[in-house]
């Protein structure tokens, strides 16, 4: 055990037991039920990574890892199965403001480094490339050891220099006091009845001693090793920093399993509709029976009067519902893969089976993620209406985790974007979005909605048919969902640039080498749809 005084050291090593990371009533504001305290993630991140490193968090939650990584200049990838978690993380990152740390590879950082070290870099101060992998400019403290003091030959030179002034003064003090004091015996104050002038000599003596000690201390600190405080980089208070470019991608494993392919036992169990209430299809059908299918409009919900499992090849359930006129209609249900993407082939096979002798009016295809070409395939079957409906990823948690499945938007129809691609006078292209064509499950009609229901939309101006890369990003919505961020950055933001981002018409772009562009639209519920255009 020992006492650590505040004036003895300017830092303290982090111990293996962290007692300062627990939640208190004054901790971070929680926006998610299992949100981790920022300081825990920050400490782990600073201990194990450097600026520019890539951090992976497979369980995103509220996005604390991504938020802290963004603050400390780390690249990040974060994943979650819940749209709630992804939406919270996206909002938290886009509305966040971060301190601007001085980069070592910058002119400002080079100036600060020169100021701290007292040494001008070879070749003078350079502009720098802003490479974050070279780190920040950190505060530092001397790490003084007995070894560094013993090996400091400058101390002897300093002592000898001051001794030339102190030794003659010691002789004068002894003469005035009538003593033979050694250096360590000289008192700080003159004894009573001391000769006149002794006080002045003693005051001069101790003044010289203090100056000598200050010079020695400075030499010890200058010659000692230094410790960089990686949690204390220098900030530039005149700048505000926001999140760098990032994208939110959906589950899209492009893998199709043949019906005769051997599957893992767990997947076979999940695909077996007779496996009891725990089967994947059984879970979906039970919740579909209770919740129905809804679009983005309140009250426009397709409710089944009857729904039961069906042992078909591609059709998993059949049922009946009442249309707006009160007539009974027949519906077939096709459930997409539990861990995969619904593609055009699945739509085709299910539609053929639904039309062959079953006499269905509607085919509902359920899936967690959809191939961008599904919308084109769904239009090819005449009288049979094919309705792709997205399953809420929260259903993957199982029925025990859902509080009340009937009240949630578990199966959502999100329409096709109403988009026009125009050629500009210079030959470049521009995209204008007018809204989303939404299917009304109660009437069977398709109507167009305005851009008020769209939160944001993205363009891949050179789509390769496999991966979607955000090259243009725009925000819409009646309530300007990112107006809070705009107000927070009013002192720094360019109003003209913000107006260009909050738009329904894109900036012109060159024709793609691939001959295709892709547009992704996301509504306020977090549902997304992607459409590909050949240009």
Over residues 391-406, the mean pLDDT reads 58
**Is 137 inside any structural domain?**
no
Q: What is the pLDDT of residue 57?
A: 94
> Which pLDDT score is estimated for 447?
66
Report the chain's mean pLDDT, rounded to a whole number. 80
Examine the domain organization and report whether 255 and 397 are in the same domain: yes
CATH for 278 = 3.40.1350
Q: Where are the alpha helices (DSSP H) in 384-494?
A: 483-488
| Among 363, 381, 413, residue at a domain's last position | 413
Give the pLDDT of residue 527. 67
* Whole-Å CA distances, 496 to 39, 485, 505: 37, 15, 15
- Least confident interval from 154-163, 342-351, 373-382, 510-519: 373-382
| Rounded Cα distance, 277 and 399, in Å | 9
Q: Which residues contact 484 (CB under 8 A, 6 or more apart)?
A: 95
Host H or E run for residue 227 = strand 225-233
380 plus 264 within the same structural domain: yes
Query: Regarding beta strands 293-294 and 301-302, do their DSSP bridges make them parallel or antiparallel, or are they unpaired?
Result: antiparallel
- The contacts of residue 481 (CB under 8 Å, 6+ apart) are 455, 475, 524
* Half-sphere exposure in the Cβ direction for 259 (13 Å, CA): 8
| CA gap 103, 206 in Å, rounded | 45
Q: What DSSP line would sit under 495-526, residue for residue?
A: HHHHHHHS-SBPPPBPPPTTSEEEEEEEETTS
Residue 257 pLDDT > 60:
no
Least-confidence region, from 145-159, 180-194, 283-297: 283-297
pLDDT, one tens digit per residue, over 308-348 is: 998 888 899 999 988 777 888 889 999 988 877 888 889 99
∠ CA 254-248-336, rounded to 5°? 35
44 and 55 Cβ atoms separated by less than 8 Å: no
User: Could you tell me the CATH number of the domain that includes residue 436?
Assistant: 2.60.40
- For residues 420 and 409, state if they share a domain: no
126 three-class SS: coil
Q: Positive or negative, the Cα torsion across 291, 297, 298, 303?
A: negative
The answer to whether residue 179 sits within a structural domain is yes
Cα 297 to Cα 333, 388, 400: the distances in Å are 22, 16, 28
Q: Are 274 and 198 part of one and the same domain? A: no
Between 72 and 14, where is the model more confident?
72
pLDDT at 407 over 80: no
User: Per-residue confidence at 10, pLDDT binned at 50, 70, 90?
Assistant: low
Return the higher-pLDDT residue of 28 and 334: 334
Could you tell me the maximum CA-CA distance found in the chain, to the nearest angstrom? 128
More confident residue, 432 or 483: 432
CB 337 within 8 A of CB 253: no
Question: pLDDT tens across 285-304, in order?
Answer: 888 888 888 776 666 778 88
Does 275 share its domain with 356? yes
Phi then psi dihedrals of residue 436, to 5 deg: -135, 130
Residue 32 has pLDDT above 80, yes or no: no
Whether residue 376 sits in one domain with residue 288 = yes
Residues 187 and 274 grouped into a single domain: no
Q: 399 and 255 in one domain?
A: yes
pLDDT at 444: 61
Q: What is the mean predicted confidence (pLDDT) over 43-50?
A: 93
Average pLDDT over residues 149-172: 91
Indicate whether 344 belongs to any domain.
Answer: yes
Stretch 486-497: mean pLDDT, rounded? 63
Q: How many domains does the chain have?
A: 3
Whether 355 is covered by a domain: the verdict is yes
Q: Is pLDDT above 60 for 406?
A: no
Residues 6+ apart with CB under 8 A from 249: 468
> Helices 83-94 and 64-71 meet at what angle, rounded to 10?
20
Global confidence as pTM: 0.51
SS (H, E, C) 91-120: HHHHCCCECCECECCCHHHHHHHHHHHCCC
Residues 297 and 439 in one domain: no
At which of 186, 206, 223 does a domain end? 223
In the structure, what pLDDT confidence band is assigned to residue 142 with cuts at 50, 70 and 90? confident
Would you say 60 and 78 are in contact if contact means Cβ atoms under 8 Å apart? Answer: yes
pLDDT band of residue 14 (cuts 50, 70, 90) is confident
- Of 208, 223, 238, which closes a domain? 223
Domain match, 405 and 427 both: no
Mean pLDDT of 398-409: 50
Between 410 and 179, whose confidence is greater?
179
308 and 405 housed in the same domain: yes
DSSP state of 37: P
Whether residue 161 is contained in a domain is answered as yes
Domain with 340, as residue range(s), is 250-413
Q: Per-residue pLDDT for 520 more than 70?
A: yes
Identify whether residues 340 and 319 lie together within a single domain.
Answer: yes
């Amino acid at each position: 055990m020992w006492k650590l005084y505040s004036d003895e050291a300017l830092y303290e090593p982090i111990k293996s037991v962290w007692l300062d990371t627990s939640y208190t009533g004054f901790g971070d504001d929680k926006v998610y039920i299992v949100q981790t305290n920022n300081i825990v993630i920050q400490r782990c991140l600073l201990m194990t990574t450097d600026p520019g490193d890539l951090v992976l968090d497979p369980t995103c939650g509220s996005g604390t890892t991504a938020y802290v990584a963004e603050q400390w200049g780390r690249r990040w990838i974060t994943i979650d199965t819940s749209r709630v978690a992804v939406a919270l993380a996206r909002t938290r990152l886009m509305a966040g403001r971060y301190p601007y740390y001085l980069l070592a590879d910058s002119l400002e950082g080079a100036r600060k480094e020169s100021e701290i070290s007292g040494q001008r870099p070879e070749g003078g101060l350079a502009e720098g490339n802003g490479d974050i992998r070279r780190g920040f400019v950190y505060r530092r403290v001397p790490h003084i050891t007995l070894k560094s003091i013993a090996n400091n030959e400058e101390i002897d030179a300093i002592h000898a220099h001051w001794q030339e002034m102190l030794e003659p003064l010691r002789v004068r003090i002894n003469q005035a006091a009538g003593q033979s004091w050694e250096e360590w015996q000289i008192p700080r104050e003159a004894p009573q009845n001391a000769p006149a002038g002794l006080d002045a000599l003693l005051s001069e003596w101790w003044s010289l001693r203090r100056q000598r000690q200050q010079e020695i201390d400075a030499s010890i600190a200058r010659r000692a090793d230094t410790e960089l405080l990686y949690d204390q980089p220098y900030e530039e208070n005149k700048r505000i920093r926001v999140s760098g470019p990032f994208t939110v991608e959906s589950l899209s494993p492009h893998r199709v399993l043949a019906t005769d392919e051997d599957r893992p036992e767990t997947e076979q169990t999940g695909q077996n509709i007779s496996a009891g209430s725990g089967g994947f299809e059984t879970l979906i059908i039970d919740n579909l029976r209770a919740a129905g299918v809804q679009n983005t409009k309140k009250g426009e919900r397709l409710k089944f009067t009857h729904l039961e499992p069906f042992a078909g090849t591609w059709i998993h359930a059949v049922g009946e519902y009442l249309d707006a006129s009160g007539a009974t209609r027949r519906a077939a249900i096709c459930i997409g893969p539990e861990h995969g993407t619904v593609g055009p082939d699945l739509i085709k096979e299910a539609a053929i089976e639904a039309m062959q002798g079953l006499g269905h009016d509607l085919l509902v295809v359920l899936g967690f993620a959809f191939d961008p070409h599904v919308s084109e395939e769904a239009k090819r079957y005449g009288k049979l209406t094919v309705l792709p409906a997205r399953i809420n990823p929260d259903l993957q948690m199982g029925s025990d985790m859902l509080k009340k499945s009937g009240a949630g938007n578990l199966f959502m129809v999100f329409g096709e974007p109403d988009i026009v691609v125009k050629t500009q006078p210079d030959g470049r292209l521009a995209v204008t979005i007018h809204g989303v064509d939404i299917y009304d499950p109660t009437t069977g009609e398709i109507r167009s909605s305005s851009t008020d229901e769209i939160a944001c939309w993205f363009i891949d101006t050179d789509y390769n048919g496999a991966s979607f890369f955000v090259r243009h990003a725009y925000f819409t919505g009646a309530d300007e969902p990112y107006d809070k961020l705009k107000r927070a950055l009013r002192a720094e933001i360019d109003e003209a640039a913000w107006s260009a981002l909050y738009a329904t018409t894109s900036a012109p772009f060159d024709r793609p080498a691939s001959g295709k562009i892709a547009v992704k639209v996301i509504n306020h519920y977090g549902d997304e749809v992607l459409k590909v255009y050949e240009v």
